[in-house]
Chain A
Amino acid sequence: DGGITQSPKYLFRKEGQNVTLSCEQNLNHDAMYWYRQDPGQGLRLIYYSQIVNDFQKGDIAEGYSVSREKKESFPLTVTSAQKNPTAFYLCASSILGRNTEAFFGQGTRLTVV
């Protein structure tokens, strides 16, 4: 079955450590996105990528980094520079250049301990 997979589902991190969240899709989508969601809030865009080896900052990119070395993979690194990293992180993908639906993963809940 085609889809988008995020791992792990739950992640705990000590303060001062970097951590990488995985996002993989087998839908052959060009565009991929990372969002952050805080309790009771909507989704905020962190980074997005439309093509391999290229990505753009979203609204809240500070303290995060991404890479897009393969079409199917778009990992997100939460660095120690991110002041409040505890949140629910969502990855999505879509066809580029056509106005169709975006597919979301089930999310990774990151907690800083």
Chain B
Amino acid sequence: SQQGEEDPQALSIQEGENATMNCSYKTSINNLQWYRQNSGRGLVHLILIRSNEREKHSGRLRVTLDTSKKSSSLLITASRAADTASYFCATASGGSYIPTFGRGTSLIVHP
């Protein structure tokens, strides 16, 4: 079963707008990671946030983590057409270091 579940399943926005994707998970985690996948390609690591962190930034990306709600969000600001991709959250929990991936949010940014 999937540990992390992304929401929404699909998101369509205009270039320049912000995109927010959410990830909810069921059990306590060690860390949470966000990955991007362009159509048919391999996943690319975007950002890792540890369970004791609440917010992290990387360029136009902002990730938050709320362990009390067991959720994380990924915000992409000033989106570009090149941001069109699927975005996955991955969690590692308990004694496991193996990340479990959600089904992803498909983001389309229209130029």
Decide whether A and B are members of one complex.
Answer: no
Q: Which residues of B contact A (CB under 8 A)?
A: none
